[in-house]
């Protein structure tokens, strides 16, 4: 309680962001220790520029590692292929990750839906090697926080299944 009142006074929004980050521990525990399958949690924070979305993302991951965007940071961008975006969370059990500034207006809806479904289901899609043998599939169990000026719900409005997995 002292840490919250000292560093996040009067900011329910940033206290919530901290809770979103720590929810990844619970999700990892449920999936890996209790061996109960639960989808990864996906939270989207939207709003206009300079409203604190990136700050909320930084707060959410600050208890787990490097909160500035870089190649090995817990804050990444949404700019990449489906496979690259999935590799960002592969083998992650209990550590939150942020995809900051989701450019949903420029992203094809089907790509967005595919990535979100894959992230929620905790396992990458099945693929074959060049010798037509099944590749090992990476898994994860975490909380994923995306930020952006637009609403992901509005973008994927016709996809009820993903709407049930996105907060």
Residues 6 or more apart in contact with residue 54 via CB below 8 angstroms:
75, 100, 101, 147
Report the sign of the C-alpha dihedral through residues 135, 77, 91, 93, in that order: negative
Look up the pTM and report it.
Answer: 0.86
How does pLDDT run across 24-67, given as a tens digit for each residue? Answer: 999 999 999 999 999 999 999 988 888 889 889 999 998 898 78
Q: Which two tokens stand for residue 18?
A: 């901290």
Phi, psi of 117 (to 5 degrees): -60, -45
Q: What are the 10-residue block averages of pLDDT along the chain, 167 residues in total?
A: 66 90 96 93 89 90 84 82 85 92 70 86 90 92 91 75 80
Residues facing residue 147 across a β-bridge:
45
d(CA 167, CA 162): 10
Rounded CA-CA distance 147/100 in Å is 5
Percentages helix, strand, coil for the chain (3-state, rounded to 5) are: 40, 15, 45
C-alpha 67/C-alpha 20 separation (Å) is 15
Q: Which two tokens stand for residue 158?
A: 């016709």
Q: Residue 10 has what pLDDT?
A: 79
- First CA to last CA distance, the chain: 26
């Amino acid at each position: 309680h002292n840490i919250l009142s000292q560093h996040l006074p009067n900011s329910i929004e940033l206290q919530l962001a901290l809770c979103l980050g720590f929810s990844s521990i619970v999700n990892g525990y449920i999936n890996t220790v209790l061996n109960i399958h639960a989808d990864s949690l996906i939270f989207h924070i939207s709003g206009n520029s300079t409203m604190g979305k990136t700050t909320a993302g930084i707060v959410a991951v600050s208890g787990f590692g490097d909160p500035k965007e870089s190649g090995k940071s817990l804050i990444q961008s949404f700019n990449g292929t489906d496979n690259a975006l999935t590799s960002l969370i592969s083998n992650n059990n209990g550590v939150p990750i942020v995809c900051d500034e989701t450019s949903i207006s420029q992203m094809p809806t089907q790509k967005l839906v595919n990535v979100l479904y894959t992230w929620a289901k905790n396992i990458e899609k099945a693929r074959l090697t060049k010798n037509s043998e099944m590749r090992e599939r990476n898994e994860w169990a975490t909380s994923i926080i995306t930020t952006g000026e637009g609403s992901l719900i509005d973008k994927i409005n016709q996809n009820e299944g993903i709407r049930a997995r996105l907060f």
